[in-house]
Amino acid sequence: MPAFICTACGMQFAPTPQPPAACPVCEDERQYVPPGGQEWTTLEELSRSSANAWRVLEPNLFEIVTTPAFAIGQRAQLLRTPAGNILWDCITLVDSATIELVRSLGGIKAIAISHPHYYSCMVEWAQTFKVPIYLHAADRAWIFRDDPAIVLWEGERKELPHGLTLICCGGHFPGGVVLHWPGGAEGRGALLSGDIVQVVQDRKTVSFMRSFPNFIPMSGPAVERVVKALEPFAFDRIHGAFPTRTIWKDGKRVLKSSAERYLAYIRGDGSAELL
Ligand SMILES: [Zn+2]
Ligand SMILES: [Zn+2]
């Protein structure tokens, strides 16, 4: 039985004889069903038309992106540490070239994902490399292909080997998670931030939204919670969800000033427009 994949968001569902009636991720107000209607594919079909491209973002950090761009178009990041490699966020396509390349880099130790939009084909990746997938329990309702590899964690933080920390910031999703990598940015620290802290088009600032495609903002208290959750961590760099979306330096200051700008607008006192 095929495990159908939604072509709009890239989510793979548990195997069924027929495609699901709808994709709950796309029906949700944070996403959208394309004007042409709901369409489905399979991993086999996708492997025939697409491949993954690799880029070194900085020492010990690779970006993996499907080309031509598929569904939401996010990047996965392969973070190498002496304690093993972590796949941060996930993409739908895992093909034989990707498997061989990842294995030649020492395989992966675990998968960690920022939020449900990037669950994609996480179970295929986990089964291939026989590794756990760390997801925040607050978003468990968005798991549509369950598997023993899925490890739900609760609370504000989860420590991973080699000083890495998963930080639950909430916001875009209740279980929205950011990965802190103290060894990133030549030891000044880096965040791998998914959509939770969104590195935006100018690549100089970040922003926060409940829905990016549907322009639904996040509340002031939710933004304050994201900033507060990241406050104790040292970082200079922020690698966002999409190719080229990296804040290379001053990430800590950028987060603070971007949040202040956001809060000034969202509070609606008119002062932000006068700046
Ligand atoms: Zn979908
Ligand atoms: Zn998202």
Report the chain's terminal Cα–Cα distance, integer Å: 58
pLDDT, one tens digit per residue, over 223-267 is: 999 999 999 999 999 999 999 999 999 999 999 999 999 999 999
Question: Does the structure show a pLDDT above 80 at 272?
Answer: no
The one-letter code for the residue type at 100 is E
CA nearest neighbour of 239 among 231, 248, 230: 248
Compute, in angstroms, the gap from residue 83 CA to the centroid of ligand 2: 29
pLDDT, one tens digit per residue, over 16-73 is: 999 999 999 999 999 999 999 999 999 999 999 999 999 999 999 999 999 999 999 9
Closest-approaching ligand to the CA atom of 11: 1
Average pLDDT of the segment spanning 131-154: 98
| Strand pairing class (133-136; 150-153) | parallel
Q: What are phi and psi of 251, to 5 degrees?
A: -55, -40
Closest-approaching ligand to the CA atom of 195: 2
Closest-approaching ligand to the CA atom of 218: 2
Compute, in angstroms, the gap from residue 159 CA to the centroid of ligand 1: 31
Q: pTM of whole model > 0.95?
A: yes
Q: Which tokens go with 22?
A: 């709808």
CA nearest neighbour of 65 among 55, 56, 127: 55
Compute, in angstroms, the gap from residue 174 CA to the centroid of ligand 2: 11
According to the model, what pLDDT value does residue 275 have?
Answer: 58
According to the model, what pLDDT value does residue 153 have?
Answer: 98
Q: What average pLDDT does the structure give for the chain?
A: 97
Compute, in angstroms, the gap from residue 27 CA to the centroid of ligand 1: 7
CA dist 126 to 6, 37, 40, 69, Å?
Answer: 19, 30, 22, 22
Q: pLDDT band for 89, please (50, 70, 90 cuts).
A: very high
Contacts of 259 (CB under 8 A, 6+ apart): 208, 223, 224, 226, 227
Q: Which tokens go with 50?
A: 């697409």
